[in-house]
Amino acid sequence: MKASDLKITDLRVADINGLPKHMILLKIYTNAGIVGYGEVRDASSGTYAKMLKSRLVGENPLNVEKLFHRIKQFGGHSRQGGGVSGVEIALYDIIGKFYGIPVYQLLGGKYRDKVRIYCDTDVDGKHTGYDMGRALKKRMEDGFTFLKMDLGIELLYDEPGCLNAPAGFLDDLKTYSMKAISHQSGSIDKSLMFGKNYEIFTVPHYATGIHVTEKGFDYLEEYVREVREVIGYEIPLAIDHFGHVAIEDALRFAKRLEKYNIAWMEDLAPWHMTAHYKKMVDRSLVPICTGEDIYLAENFKPLLDAGLNVVHPDMLTVGGFAELKKLGAMCEQSGTALAIHMAESPIGFMAAVHAAAALKNVLAVEFHSVDHPEWYELVEPAIRLENGFMSVPDAPGLGIEALNEELIKQFKKDDCEEPWSSTDSWNGEWANDREWS
Protein backbone atom coordinates (compact mmCIF):
# COMPACT_ATOMS: atom_id res chain seq x y z
CA MET A 1 0.00 0.00 0.00
CA LYS A 2 1.22 3.50 -0.84
CA ALA A 3 1.69 5.85 2.08
CA SER A 4 -0.91 8.22 0.64
CA ASP A 5 -3.55 5.47 0.71
CA LEU A 6 -3.21 4.63 4.42
CA LYS A 7 -6.34 5.50 6.43
CA ILE A 8 -7.61 5.17 10.00
CA THR A 9 -10.67 2.92 10.15
CA ASP A 10 -11.51 2.46 13.84
CA LEU A 11 -10.58 3.26 17.45
CA ARG A 12 -11.35 1.02 20.45
CA VAL A 13 -10.39 0.74 24.12
CA ALA A 14 -10.05 -1.89 26.84
CA ASP A 15 -10.21 -1.17 30.58
CA ILE A 16 -8.15 -3.42 32.85
CA ASN A 17 -7.56 -3.27 36.58
CA GLY A 18 -5.38 -4.84 39.26
CA LEU A 19 -1.84 -4.63 37.86
CA PRO A 20 -1.99 -2.57 40.05
CA LYS A 21 -4.00 0.33 38.65
CA HIS A 22 -6.94 1.01 36.35
CA MET A 23 -5.35 1.14 32.90
CA ILE A 24 -7.08 2.03 29.62
CA LEU A 25 -5.53 0.43 26.56
CA LEU A 26 -6.11 1.87 23.09
CA LYS A 27 -6.07 0.47 19.58
CA ILE A 28 -6.22 2.51 16.36
CA TYR A 29 -6.96 0.38 13.29
CA THR A 30 -6.01 1.08 9.68
CA ASN A 31 -7.01 -0.17 6.23
CA ALA A 32 -3.57 -1.77 5.90
CA GLY A 33 -4.18 -4.12 8.81
CA ILE A 34 -1.68 -2.21 10.96
CA VAL A 35 -2.92 -1.59 14.50
CA GLY A 36 -1.37 1.16 16.59
CA TYR A 37 -1.22 0.74 20.37
CA GLY A 38 -1.72 3.63 22.76
CA GLU A 39 -3.01 4.18 26.27
CA VAL A 40 -5.17 6.68 28.15
CA ARG A 41 -3.81 7.93 31.49
CA ASP A 42 -4.36 5.69 34.51
CA ALA A 43 -7.51 6.21 36.65
CA SER A 44 -9.12 8.02 33.74
CA SER A 45 -11.85 7.32 31.18
CA GLY A 46 -11.80 5.82 27.70
CA THR A 47 -14.24 8.57 26.75
CA TYR A 48 -11.28 10.95 26.46
CA ALA A 49 -10.09 8.86 23.49
CA LYS A 50 -13.45 7.80 22.02
CA MET A 51 -14.61 11.41 21.73
CA LEU A 52 -11.77 11.99 19.25
CA LYS A 53 -12.74 9.15 16.92
CA SER A 54 -14.80 11.16 14.45
CA ARG A 55 -11.87 13.55 13.95
CA LEU A 56 -9.57 10.63 13.08
CA VAL A 57 -11.45 8.02 11.04
CA GLY A 58 -10.70 8.43 7.34
CA GLU A 59 -7.55 10.44 8.01
CA ASN A 60 -4.01 9.34 7.15
CA PRO A 61 -2.26 8.33 10.43
CA LEU A 62 1.14 9.23 8.97
CA ASN A 63 0.18 12.91 9.27
CA VAL A 64 0.63 12.76 13.02
CA GLU A 65 1.43 16.44 13.57
CA LYS A 66 -1.58 17.55 11.52
CA LEU A 67 -3.88 15.24 13.49
CA PHE A 68 -2.37 16.26 16.83
CA HIS A 69 -3.03 19.92 16.12
CA ARG A 70 -6.62 19.06 15.29
CA ILE A 71 -7.32 17.14 18.49
CA LYS A 72 -5.10 18.87 21.05
CA GLN A 73 -7.84 21.37 21.94
CA PHE A 74 -9.79 18.44 23.43
CA GLY A 75 -7.02 17.58 25.90
CA GLY A 76 -6.33 19.09 29.28
CA HIS A 77 -4.29 18.70 32.42
CA SER A 78 -4.01 15.49 34.41
CA ARG A 79 -6.32 12.71 33.19
CA GLN A 80 -7.93 14.95 30.55
CA GLY A 81 -4.69 14.79 28.57
CA GLY A 82 -4.99 11.04 28.25
CA GLY A 83 -7.07 10.79 25.09
CA VAL A 84 -4.94 13.14 23.00
CA SER A 85 -1.71 11.68 24.36
CA GLY A 86 -2.83 8.09 23.82
CA VAL A 87 -3.87 8.78 20.24
CA GLU A 88 -0.56 10.51 19.45
CA ILE A 89 1.38 7.53 20.80
CA ALA A 90 -0.73 5.08 18.79
CA LEU A 91 -0.16 7.12 15.62
CA TYR A 92 3.61 7.00 16.12
CA ASP A 93 3.31 3.24 16.63
CA ILE A 94 1.50 2.98 13.28
CA ILE A 95 4.10 5.12 11.51
CA GLY A 96 6.93 2.99 12.88
CA LYS A 97 5.20 -0.23 11.85
CA PHE A 98 4.37 1.11 8.37
CA TYR A 99 7.97 2.11 7.64
CA GLY A 100 9.56 -0.71 9.66
CA ILE A 101 11.50 1.51 12.11
CA PRO A 102 11.37 1.99 15.89
CA VAL A 103 9.66 5.06 17.32
CA TYR A 104 12.89 6.43 18.79
CA GLN A 105 14.19 6.76 15.21
CA LEU A 106 11.19 8.93 14.35
CA LEU A 107 12.18 11.18 17.25
CA GLY A 108 15.67 11.81 15.88
CA GLY A 109 17.47 8.68 17.03
CA LYS A 110 18.60 7.49 20.43
CA TYR A 111 21.13 8.75 22.94
CA ARG A 112 21.24 5.44 24.83
CA ASP A 113 20.62 1.74 24.28
CA LYS A 114 19.28 1.13 27.79
CA VAL A 115 16.99 3.29 29.91
CA ARG A 116 17.35 3.45 33.69
CA ILE A 117 14.15 2.45 35.51
CA TYR A 118 13.44 3.82 38.96
CA CYS A 119 11.30 1.78 41.27
CA ASP A 120 8.40 3.16 43.31
CA THR A 121 7.86 1.19 46.53
CA ASP A 122 4.99 1.02 49.03
CA VAL A 123 4.55 -0.79 52.34
CA ASP A 124 0.97 -1.43 53.41
CA GLY A 125 -0.37 -0.69 56.87
CA LYS A 126 1.38 0.67 59.94
CA HIS A 127 5.12 0.23 59.52
CA THR A 128 8.52 1.68 60.38
CA GLY A 129 11.33 3.13 58.34
CA TYR A 130 13.14 -0.17 58.82
CA ASP A 131 10.20 -1.95 57.14
CA MET A 132 10.36 0.45 54.21
CA GLY A 133 14.13 0.15 54.11
CA ARG A 134 13.89 -3.62 53.81
CA ALA A 135 11.36 -3.29 50.97
CA LEU A 136 13.69 -0.87 49.18
CA LYS A 137 16.67 -3.13 49.83
CA LYS A 138 14.81 -5.90 48.02
CA ARG A 139 14.48 -3.58 45.01
CA MET A 140 18.21 -2.99 45.11
CA GLU A 141 18.82 -6.76 45.23
CA ASP A 142 16.60 -7.03 42.13
CA GLY A 143 18.99 -4.66 40.36
CA PHE A 144 17.25 -1.29 40.61
CA THR A 145 19.67 1.62 40.89
CA PHE A 146 17.24 4.47 41.66
CA LEU A 147 14.46 4.32 44.27
CA LYS A 148 11.38 6.23 45.37
CA MET A 149 9.12 5.81 48.38
CA ASP A 150 5.94 7.40 49.64
CA LEU A 151 6.43 9.36 52.85
CA GLY A 152 3.31 11.11 54.04
CA ILE A 153 1.55 12.55 57.03
CA GLU A 154 -0.72 9.49 57.14
CA LEU A 155 2.10 7.90 59.14
CA LEU A 156 1.26 10.44 61.85
CA TYR A 157 -2.52 10.03 61.99
CA ASP A 158 -2.39 7.68 64.96
CA GLU A 159 0.60 9.29 66.65
CA PRO A 160 -0.58 11.76 69.32
CA GLY A 161 0.84 15.27 69.23
CA CYS A 162 2.29 14.99 65.72
CA LEU A 163 -0.24 16.94 63.65
CA ASN A 164 -1.99 20.25 64.18
CA ALA A 165 -5.26 20.78 62.28
CA PRO A 166 -8.74 22.31 62.57
CA ALA A 167 -10.79 20.25 65.00
CA GLY A 168 -12.38 17.27 63.28
CA PHE A 169 -10.53 17.64 59.98
CA LEU A 170 -8.06 14.83 60.65
CA ASP A 171 -11.00 12.57 61.46
CA ASP A 172 -12.51 13.52 58.09
CA LEU A 173 -9.23 12.64 56.38
CA LYS A 174 -9.16 9.25 58.06
CA THR A 175 -12.78 8.62 57.13
CA TYR A 176 -12.90 9.97 53.60
CA SER A 177 -9.37 10.14 52.21
CA MET A 178 -7.68 6.91 53.26
CA LYS A 179 -8.83 5.46 49.93
CA ALA A 180 -6.89 8.21 48.19
CA ILE A 181 -3.80 7.40 50.24
CA SER A 182 -4.04 3.66 49.66
CA HIS A 183 -4.56 4.00 45.90
CA GLN A 184 -0.83 4.50 45.38
CA SER A 185 -0.46 0.72 45.47
CA GLY A 186 -3.72 0.12 43.58
CA SER A 187 -6.53 1.84 41.73
CA ILE A 188 -8.20 5.01 42.90
CA ASP A 189 -11.72 4.35 44.17
CA LYS A 190 -14.64 5.73 42.14
CA SER A 191 -16.39 6.81 45.35
CA LEU A 192 -13.76 9.51 45.85
CA MET A 193 -15.44 11.49 43.09
CA PHE A 194 -18.73 11.91 44.95
CA GLY A 195 -20.16 13.66 48.01
CA LYS A 196 -18.10 14.17 51.14
CA ASN A 197 -15.30 12.01 49.73
CA TYR A 198 -14.84 14.45 46.85
CA GLU A 199 -15.11 17.47 49.13
CA ILE A 200 -12.23 16.25 51.30
CA PHE A 201 -10.24 14.73 48.41
CA THR A 202 -10.07 18.06 46.55
CA VAL A 203 -8.93 20.40 49.33
CA PRO A 204 -5.54 21.72 48.11
CA HIS A 205 -2.41 21.80 50.24
CA TYR A 206 -2.60 25.47 51.20
CA ALA A 207 -6.24 25.27 52.30
CA THR A 208 -6.19 22.28 54.66
CA GLY A 209 -4.91 24.12 57.70
CA ILE A 210 -2.77 21.09 58.56
CA HIS A 211 0.64 21.65 60.15
CA VAL A 212 3.22 19.19 61.40
CA THR A 213 4.46 19.63 64.96
CA GLU A 214 8.07 19.31 66.05
CA LYS A 215 7.23 15.87 67.39
CA GLY A 216 5.80 14.99 63.99
CA PHE A 217 8.93 16.19 62.19
CA ASP A 218 11.03 14.14 64.63
CA TYR A 219 8.96 11.06 63.80
CA LEU A 220 9.26 11.52 60.01
CA GLU A 221 12.96 12.31 60.16
CA GLU A 222 13.57 9.17 62.23
CA TYR A 223 11.64 7.19 59.60
CA VAL A 224 13.97 8.47 56.86
CA ARG A 225 17.04 7.85 59.04
CA GLU A 226 15.91 4.23 59.49
CA VAL A 227 15.42 3.82 55.74
CA ARG A 228 18.91 5.13 55.02
CA GLU A 229 20.37 2.92 57.76
CA VAL A 230 19.08 -0.10 55.82
CA ILE A 231 19.79 0.93 52.22
CA GLY A 232 22.84 3.13 52.71
CA TYR A 233 23.53 6.57 51.28
CA GLU A 234 24.97 5.71 47.88
CA ILE A 235 21.71 5.13 45.97
CA PRO A 236 19.30 7.92 44.94
CA LEU A 237 16.07 7.99 46.97
CA ALA A 238 13.15 10.23 45.99
CA ILE A 239 10.09 11.01 48.14
CA ASP A 240 6.47 11.31 47.04
CA HIS A 241 3.05 11.91 48.62
CA PHE A 242 4.07 14.00 51.62
CA GLY A 243 0.48 15.12 52.03
CA HIS A 244 -1.65 18.20 51.60
CA VAL A 245 0.00 20.46 54.16
CA ALA A 246 1.13 24.06 54.03
CA ILE A 247 4.29 24.76 52.04
CA GLU A 248 5.98 26.16 55.16
CA ASP A 249 5.81 22.69 56.66
CA ALA A 250 7.15 21.14 53.47
CA LEU A 251 10.10 23.53 53.67
CA ARG A 252 10.72 22.74 57.32
CA PHE A 253 10.68 19.03 56.49
CA ALA A 254 13.01 19.56 53.52
CA LYS A 255 15.48 21.23 55.88
CA ARG A 256 15.36 18.15 58.11
CA LEU A 257 16.04 15.89 55.11
CA GLU A 258 19.13 17.64 53.73
CA LYS A 259 21.50 15.25 55.53
CA TYR A 260 19.80 12.17 53.99
CA ASN A 261 20.68 12.87 50.34
CA ILE A 262 17.15 12.93 48.93
CA ALA A 263 16.94 12.91 45.11
CA TRP A 264 13.76 15.01 45.13
CA MET A 265 10.55 15.79 47.01
CA GLU A 266 7.55 15.52 44.73
CA ASP A 267 4.26 17.41 44.34
CA LEU A 268 4.46 19.48 47.51
CA ALA A 269 1.87 21.90 46.12
CA PRO A 270 -0.60 21.94 43.22
CA TRP A 271 1.58 22.21 40.11
CA HIS A 272 -0.03 25.43 38.87
CA MET A 273 0.85 27.34 42.07
CA THR A 274 4.05 28.69 40.55
CA ALA A 275 4.67 31.22 43.33
CA HIS A 276 4.57 28.41 45.88
CA TYR A 277 7.14 26.42 43.91
CA LYS A 278 9.38 29.44 43.52
CA LYS A 279 9.31 29.94 47.27
CA MET A 280 10.23 26.30 47.81
CA VAL A 281 13.05 26.07 45.29
CA ASP A 282 14.52 29.36 46.55
CA ARG A 283 14.62 28.11 50.14
CA SER A 284 15.21 24.36 49.87
CA LEU A 285 18.47 22.48 49.31
CA VAL A 286 16.49 19.31 48.63
CA PRO A 287 15.47 19.24 44.93
CA ILE A 288 11.79 20.03 44.30
CA CYS A 289 9.84 18.10 41.65
CA THR A 290 6.42 18.27 39.96
CA GLY A 291 4.84 17.92 36.52
CA GLU A 292 2.99 14.60 36.05
CA ASP A 293 -0.33 16.43 35.65
CA ILE A 294 0.77 19.10 33.14
CA TYR A 295 -0.60 19.02 29.59
CA LEU A 296 1.65 20.36 26.77
CA ALA A 297 5.27 21.39 27.07
CA GLU A 298 4.47 25.11 26.97
CA ASN A 299 2.69 24.86 30.33
CA PHE A 300 5.93 23.83 32.08
CA LYS A 301 7.58 27.16 31.27
CA PRO A 302 6.44 29.12 34.36
CA LEU A 303 7.85 26.39 36.61
CA LEU A 304 11.11 26.24 34.66
CA ASP A 305 11.41 30.01 34.92
CA ALA A 306 10.78 29.71 38.68
CA GLY A 307 13.82 27.42 38.97
CA LEU A 308 12.11 24.06 39.50
CA ASN A 309 14.81 21.43 40.06
CA VAL A 310 13.16 18.36 38.47
CA VAL A 311 10.25 18.05 36.03
CA HIS A 312 8.30 14.82 36.06
CA PRO A 313 6.04 14.62 32.97
CA ASP A 314 3.76 11.69 32.19
CA MET A 315 3.71 10.57 28.55
CA LEU A 316 -0.05 10.05 28.80
CA THR A 317 -0.76 13.58 30.01
CA VAL A 318 1.90 15.80 28.44
CA GLY A 319 0.64 15.14 24.88
CA GLY A 320 2.81 12.24 23.77
CA PHE A 321 6.17 11.98 22.05
CA ALA A 322 6.49 15.34 20.33
CA GLU A 323 5.52 17.34 23.41
CA LEU A 324 7.97 15.42 25.58
CA LYS A 325 10.75 16.09 23.08
CA LYS A 326 9.89 19.81 23.22
CA LEU A 327 9.97 19.69 27.01
CA GLY A 328 13.35 17.98 26.93
CA ALA A 329 14.75 20.85 24.85
CA MET A 330 13.24 23.38 27.26
CA CYS A 331 14.91 21.60 30.18
CA GLU A 332 18.26 21.75 28.42
CA GLN A 333 17.88 25.52 28.13
CA SER A 334 16.82 26.03 31.74
CA GLY A 335 19.16 23.50 33.34
CA THR A 336 16.32 21.45 34.79
CA ALA A 337 16.54 17.71 35.38
CA LEU A 338 13.86 15.46 33.83
CA ALA A 339 12.47 12.13 35.00
CA ILE A 340 9.43 10.43 33.45
CA HIS A 341 6.36 9.54 35.51
CA MET A 342 4.89 6.15 34.58
CA ALA A 343 2.14 4.26 36.43
CA GLU A 344 0.56 2.54 33.44
CA SER A 345 0.57 -0.61 31.31
CA PRO A 346 3.48 -1.90 29.18
CA ILE A 347 2.14 0.27 26.33
CA GLY A 348 2.67 3.49 28.31
CA PHE A 349 5.91 2.06 29.64
CA MET A 350 7.35 1.32 26.19
CA ALA A 351 6.30 4.78 25.00
CA ALA A 352 8.25 6.25 27.92
CA VAL A 353 11.26 4.07 27.11
CA HIS A 354 11.39 5.25 23.49
CA ALA A 355 10.99 8.87 24.61
CA ALA A 356 13.72 8.50 27.22
CA ALA A 357 16.04 6.96 24.66
CA ALA A 358 15.55 9.99 22.39
CA LEU A 359 16.09 12.65 25.08
CA LYS A 360 19.57 14.11 25.49
CA ASN A 361 19.35 13.91 29.28
CA VAL A 362 16.90 11.94 31.43
CA LEU A 363 17.27 10.67 34.99
CA ALA A 364 15.04 7.60 34.81
CA VAL A 365 11.58 6.23 33.97
CA GLU A 366 9.24 5.37 36.85
CA PHE A 367 7.93 1.83 37.42
CA HIS A 368 5.04 0.69 39.62
CA SER A 369 4.39 -2.96 38.79
CA VAL A 370 7.36 -4.92 40.12
CA ASP A 371 5.12 -7.04 42.33
CA HIS A 372 2.67 -7.97 39.54
CA PRO A 373 4.18 -10.67 37.30
CA GLU A 374 1.19 -10.65 34.91
CA TRP A 375 1.94 -6.99 34.07
CA TYR A 376 5.13 -8.01 32.23
CA GLU A 377 3.16 -10.50 30.11
CA LEU A 378 0.49 -8.08 28.90
CA VAL A 379 2.45 -7.55 25.69
CA GLU A 380 4.41 -9.73 23.28
CA PRO A 381 7.33 -9.89 23.57
CA ALA A 382 7.00 -9.68 27.35
CA ILE A 383 8.74 -6.88 29.22
CA ARG A 384 12.11 -7.94 30.61
CA LEU A 385 14.13 -5.64 32.85
CA GLU A 386 17.82 -6.27 33.41
CA ASN A 387 19.47 -4.89 36.55
CA GLY A 388 17.09 -1.96 36.70
CA PHE A 389 17.39 -1.06 33.00
CA MET A 390 15.15 -1.60 29.97
CA SER A 391 16.81 -2.24 26.63
CA VAL A 392 15.43 -0.04 23.87
CA PRO A 393 13.92 -2.34 21.21
CA ASP A 394 14.82 -2.01 17.55
CA ALA A 395 11.55 -3.60 16.38
CA PRO A 396 9.10 -1.39 14.44
CA GLY A 397 6.93 1.09 16.31
CA LEU A 398 6.87 0.68 20.07
CA GLY A 399 8.35 -2.80 19.71
CA ILE A 400 5.08 -4.45 20.78
CA GLU A 401 4.07 -7.20 18.37
CA ALA A 402 0.75 -8.09 20.03
CA LEU A 403 -1.26 -7.75 23.22
CA ASN A 404 -2.03 -10.67 25.50
CA GLU A 405 -5.79 -10.77 24.98
CA GLU A 406 -6.31 -13.56 27.52
CA LEU A 407 -4.75 -11.47 30.29
CA ILE A 408 -6.72 -8.43 29.18
CA LYS A 409 -9.94 -10.45 29.59
CA GLN A 410 -8.75 -11.82 32.93
CA PHE A 411 -8.06 -8.35 34.33
CA LYS A 412 -11.04 -6.58 32.75
CA LYS A 413 -12.30 -3.78 34.99
CA ASP A 414 -15.60 -4.88 36.49
CA ASP A 415 -17.70 -1.77 35.82
CA CYS A 416 -16.56 -1.29 32.20
CA GLU A 417 -17.55 -2.64 28.79
CA GLU A 418 -15.99 -5.76 27.35
CA PRO A 419 -12.50 -5.14 25.96
CA TRP A 420 -12.45 -3.66 22.46
CA SER A 421 -16.23 -3.15 22.31
CA SER A 422 -17.63 -1.28 19.32
CA THR A 423 -17.27 2.50 19.44
CA ASP A 424 -19.62 3.13 16.49
CA SER A 425 -21.81 5.36 18.66
CA TRP A 426 -18.98 7.91 18.53
CA ASN A 427 -18.72 7.93 14.74
CA GLY A 428 -21.12 10.86 14.34
CA GLU A 429 -19.72 13.04 17.13
CA TRP A 430 -18.99 16.52 15.83
CA ALA A 431 -18.76 20.20 16.69
CA ASN A 432 -17.44 23.40 15.19
CA ASP A 433 -13.81 22.88 16.19
CA ARG A 434 -12.49 26.27 15.10
CA GLU A 435 -11.08 28.07 18.12
CA TRP A 436 -11.39 31.56 16.67
CA SER A 437 -14.08 33.65 14.93
Angle among Cα 361, 372, 417 to the nearest 5 degrees reads 100
Pairing of strands 8-16, 147-150: unpaired
pLDDT at 193: 86
Instruction: Say which residues have a Cβ less than 8 Å from residue 299's Cβ, sequence separation at least 6.
Output: 77
Q: Residue 170 — pLDDT band, cuts 50, 70, 90?
A: confident
What's the whole-number average pLDDT of the chain?
A: 95
pLDDT at 180: 59
Q: Pick the closest to residue 225 from 132, 356, 304 (CA basis).
A: 132
DSSP 3-state of 41: coil
Q: Using one digit for the tens of pLDDT, what is the confidence trace for 367-382?
A: 999 999 999 999 999 9
> Region 392-408: what's the mean pLDDT?
98
DSSP 3-state of 371: coil
Q: Using one digit for the tens of pLDDT, what is the confidence trace for 322-343?
A: 999 999 999 999 999 999 999 9
**pLDDT at 238 exceeding the cut of 90:** yes
> Region 77-81: what's the mean pLDDT?
97
Q: Does this model's pTM top 0.85?
A: yes
Rounded to whole angstroms, the Cα distance separating 82 from 45 reads 8
Phi, psi of 174 (to 5 degrees): -65, -40
Q: Residue 178 — pLDDT band, cuts 50, 70, 90?
A: low
pLDDT at 147: 97
**pLDDT at 59 exceeding the cut of 70:** yes
Sign of CA dihedral 218, 220, 224, 230: positive
pLDDT at 195: 86
> To the nearest whole percent, how much of the chain has pLDDT over 90?
89
pLDDT at 176: 74
Beta bridge partners of 25: 14, 39
Q: Using one digit for the tens of pLDDT, what is the confidence trace for 248-288?
A: 999 999 999 999 999 999 999 999 999 999 999 999 999 99
Which of 44-53, 61-70, 241-250, 280-289 has the least mean pLDDT? 241-250
pLDDT at 179: 60
CB neighbour burial string for 383-417, b if at least 16 within 10 angstroms, e if fewer: bebeebbbebbeebbbbbeebbeebbeebbbeebe
Q: Using one digit for the tens of pLDDT, what is the confidence trace for 20-41?
A: 999 999 999 999 999 999 999 9
Q: Could you give the domains of the chain?
A: 3-101+403-426 (3.30.390.10), 114-398 (3.20.20.120)
Cβ neighbour number for residue 118 with a 10 Å cutoff: 23
pLDDT at 164: 94
Q: Residue 182 — pLDDT band, cuts 50, 70, 90?
A: low
> Region 222-246: what's the mean pLDDT?
96
pLDDT at 174: 81
pLDDT at 173: 83
**pLDDT at 351 exceeding the cut of 60:** yes
Looking at residue 188, the DSSP 8-state letter turns out to be P
Helix axes 214-231, 129-141, angle to 10 degrees: 30
CB neighbour burial string for 284-306, b if at least 16 within 10 angstroms, e if fewer: bebbbbbbbbbbbbebbeebbeb
